[in-house]
């Protein structure tokens, strides 16, 4: 069975994106790291057991040539929730069950974190973001969420807007069972999320 692993805020500048997310959520993000394979860097927020949020942007100091992941080469505008990442046990098998263009399996490592992840050759989002990026953590790798302070925020709802929402929802129905994830018909792909904060406050991205 697949399960939601993390969410990503995409932005043109990491400091700008972090400030936007911190203002929206009312919490502070922790230091992340760099992804040499794709020339990006991030900051992180713990959302409880096995779920976290990252802010990710192109690293201006990275010596990098080639398409970046998460659609960052084509990113424009203000920071926004831009990707959802789902964990699976067998990535190659999961990709065989995914729509065309969902990506190839890429093996990555940062420190003691080891994982494989689905990335289309051109760095775009699978089905424009309507299908999740898939990730398989290496056996024995301690999940990033367990390394982060707990922010106290809990995901209530993740809404995936897409012109082909019904078909995508149907294809995922037997693989990803999570009542927090909702598909909505929309004229263009979009993501939005609602979080429950302490004292009963709701926060939105």
Q: Residue 69 sits in a domain of what CATH number?
A: 3.10.180.10
Model confidence, pTM: 0.96
Q: Residue 120: inside a domain, yes or no?
A: yes
pLDDT for 132 equals: 98
Residue 183 lies in a domain: no
Q: Indicate the number of domains in the chain.
A: 1
Residue 22 maps to a domain = yes
Q: What is the pLDDT of residues 37-93, one digit of tens each?
A: 999 999 999 999 899 999 999 999 998 888 999 999 999 999 999 999 999 999 999
Q: For residues 158 and 166, give the distance between their C-alpha atoms in angstroms, rounded to a whole number.
A: 16
Domain of 57? Answer: 3-151
Residue 170: inside a domain, yes or no? no
Per-residue pLDDT at 200: 84
Asked if the structure places residue 56 within a domain, the reply is yes
Asked, for residue 200, whether it belongs to a domain, the answer is: no
Domain assignment present for 203: no
pLDDT above 90 for 199: no
Q: How far is CA 94 from CA 68, 105, 203, in A?
A: 22, 10, 32
């Amino acid at each position: 069975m697949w399960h939601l692993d993390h969410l990503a805020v995409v932005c043109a500048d990491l400091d700008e994106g972090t400030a936007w997310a911190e203002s929206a959520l009312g919490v502070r993000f922790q230091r992340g790291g760099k992804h040499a394979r794709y020339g990006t860097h991030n900051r992180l927020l713990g959302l409880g057991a096995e779920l976290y949020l990252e802010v990710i942007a192109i690293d201006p100091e990275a010596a990098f040539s080639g398409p970046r992941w998460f659609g960052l080469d084509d990113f424009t505008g203000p920071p926004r929730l831009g990707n959802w990442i789902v964990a699976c046990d067998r990535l190659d098998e999961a990709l065989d069950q995914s729509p065309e263009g969902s990506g190839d399996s890429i093996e990555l490592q940062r420190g003691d974190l080891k994982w494989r992840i689905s990335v289309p050759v051109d760095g775009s989002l699978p089905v424009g973001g309507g299908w999740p990026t898939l990730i398989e953590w290496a056996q024995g790798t301690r999940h990033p969420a367990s390394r982060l302070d707990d922010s106290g925020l809990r995901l209530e709802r993740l809404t995936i807007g897409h012109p082909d929402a019904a078909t995508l929802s149907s294809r995922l129905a037997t693989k990803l069972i999570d009542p927090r994830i909702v598909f909505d018909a929309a004229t263009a792909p979009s993501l939005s999320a609602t979080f429950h904060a302490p004292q009963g406050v709701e926060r939105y991205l």
